[in-house]
Structure 1
Amino acid sequence: MGLFGQIYRDYRRYRATGGSWVLTLFFTQGFWASTVYRVNRWAVQRLRFRPLRLLAQVFLSPLNKLTEIVTGICIPASADIGEGMYIGHFGGIFFPSRGRLGRNCSVSQGVTIGQAGTGDKRGAPTIGDRVYIGPHAIVVGKITVGDDAAVCAGAVVTRPVPPRAVVAGNPARVISYDGSFEFICYDGMEGDPARLAALAAGAYPAPTSLGAAPAPALDPTLVNTGGGAP
């Protein structure tokens, strides 16, 4: 998808949640930050003529830094972020220079997504599609967060999160498999095959006699065995 297509998809996420075009364009810091990121990344990746790319960076680098100061949202051009990103509030939001955030994800205020680890274990998270990350959550390290997962407010995630899992606490533990469906809203979601397939799979763990997939194997340190939220 091209630059303007990505920006439009981001814009539609705000409109899908009820925001007017005036509010989105002129008063939504998250949309400002994502737009500057999109333009900056496009310039780095698509401008093949080196002098032109350097000229673009002369303008875009100060604009990117100004956006960070105004919004409190840091998104490096090297970050890989899918279209349809929604940042509901602003301030204290950090994305890593590596790693990936999938399509139609929602990121709240105070969220840190970062690198951690040493040696070959060092890296940044790979986050799937339609993932919700709640206020002041921390997701770090060379881990994978599956599609349709939800990270609750204040959770500290340092281990892989299965698809549809809802994690909470420090350290984060799986508290349900209800997924992020109640938190993610975007154009065409009612007919999105990937989302429909996830919904049809049902909440884990499910009886295999009903034809649903069994719960995926989990790291025992990630599972909440206390019967409730930590």
Structure 2
Amino acid sequence: MRAALGIGDKPSLPARLKFIAMNSEFRCVATYRFSQYVAELAEHRNLLALPAKVLYRLLNRWATHVDHTDISAGARIGPGLVLMHRSGVIVGPVSIGDNCVVHHNVTIGQRVARGDQGVPRIGDRVWIGPGCIITGSIAIGDDVIISAGSVLSRDVPSGCLVAGNPARVIAKDYDNTDFIGLLPAEGRSAGPTNGASLNR
């Protein structure tokens, strides 16, 4: 939050509250994170599980109906997720790695055609441009750029730039640090990596 606020190590309480109230992208991600906390409470049969679940449903209804973003509680998303523009984002029970960037009008989930009921597994530091559709039981490696408007339903190795409908690899060993540059330096690699962190 401190990085997003653009202030020092100890932002004031009013600054924190203003950020939470005004930043819809933050609220959407926080709602998803809260769903994981609720699941943990339920797993341990904590007495707070029921009221927390009710609160989550209210927050999720706001996210879906007001902010137009639906991130499944069944998704597994690493730290550092950034929603650049929250409107029109739909994320199913998929796997997404650390420090990924998702733009508006993006759908990530199942592909019902040809009996494919699987979901994408997305690596670390992946940049997903506006209007992308990513579906099916596919594996996307680390440090990948998925260009705006891409329709992706096949595996992508690490360090690639993909584009088109259907999406295809148009560049390999592509340095995506300019795209992920808004993230803290410790969350980025110096360049594309050789292996995909997909076992999530």
TM-score bracket for the superposition, by shorter chain length: 0.7 to 0.9
Does the C-alpha gap of structure 1 residues 137 and 179 become closer, same or farther in structure 2, counting only changes over 3 Å? farther
What do you get for the CA RMSD once the two structures are aligned?
A: 2.4
Greater fraction strand: 2
**1:58-78 Cα shifts (integer Å, max 9, x gaps):** 221122111211111101211
**Matched residue type, 1:186:** L
- The amino acid that maps onto 1:188 is A
Q: 1:217 maps to what in 2? A: none
Partner residue, 2:83:
87
Pair 1:139–1:187, CA change in 2 (3 A)? same
For 2:59, the equivalent position in structure 1 comes to 63
2:4 aligned partner, one-letter code: Y
Change in CA separation of 1:90 and 1:49 when aligned onto 2, cut-off 3 Å: same
In structure 2, what is the equivalent of residue 128 of structure 1?
123
- The question of whether the paired residues in 2 share the 8 Å contact of 1:74 and 1:93 is answered with yes
Asked if 1:103 is matched to 2:98, the reply is yes
Task: Give the letter for the 1:115 counterpart.
Answer: Q
- Gaps of at least 5 residues in structure 1 are 1-10, 202-212, 214-230
Alpha carbons of structure 1 residues 35 and 54: separation in structure 2 relative to 1, 3 Å? same
**Total equivalences in the alignment:** 183
1:185-214 deviation per Cα after TM superposition (whole angstroms, max 9, x unaligned)? 32233xx6x713x45x6xxxxxxxxxxx7x
Among 157, 160, 172, the residue aligned to 2:155: 160
Name the amino acid aligned to 2:39.
V
Q: Which runs of 5+ in 2 are unaligned?
A: 195-200
Residue 187, structure 1, aligned to residue 181, structure 2 = no
After TM superposition, list the pairs within 5 Å mapping 1:2-151 onto structure 2: 11=1, 14-15=4-5, 24-47=19-42, 48-49=44-45, 51-96=47-92, 98-117=93-112, 121-151=116-146
1:191-230 equivalence runs, <5 A = 195-196=189-190, 198-199=191-192
Amino acid at match of 1:35: A
**Matched-pair contact (CA < 8 Å) for 2:41–2:48:** no
**8 Å CA contact retained: 2:28, 2:86:** no
Q: How far apart are the structure 2 equivalents of 1:13 and 1:146?
A: 26
Query: Quick one: distance in 1 between partners of 2:166 and 2:89?
Result: 20
Kindly indicate whether the alpha-carbon contact (under 8 Å) linking 1:12 and 1:186 is maintained by their aligned counterparts in 2: no
TM-score, L = length of structure 2? 0.81
Q: Which stretch of structure 1 is more off in the superposition, 163-172 or 51-60?
A: 51-60
State the AA in 1 paired with 2:184.
D
Change (3 A) 1:13 1:119: farther
CA contact (8 A) 1:13 1:84 kept: no
Match of 1:66, SS state, is: helix
Please state how far the C-alpha of 1:95 moved relative to its aligned partner.
Answer: 0.3
Tell me, in whole angstroms, the C-alpha distance in 2 between the residues paired with 1:12 and 1:35.
15
In 2, the alpha carbon distance for the partners of 1:85 and 1:132 equals 10
Q: State the Cα distance separating 1:126 from its structure 2 match.
A: 0.4
Aligned partners of 1:152 and 1:168 also within 8 Å: yes
What TM-score do you get using the length of structure 1 for normalisation?
0.71
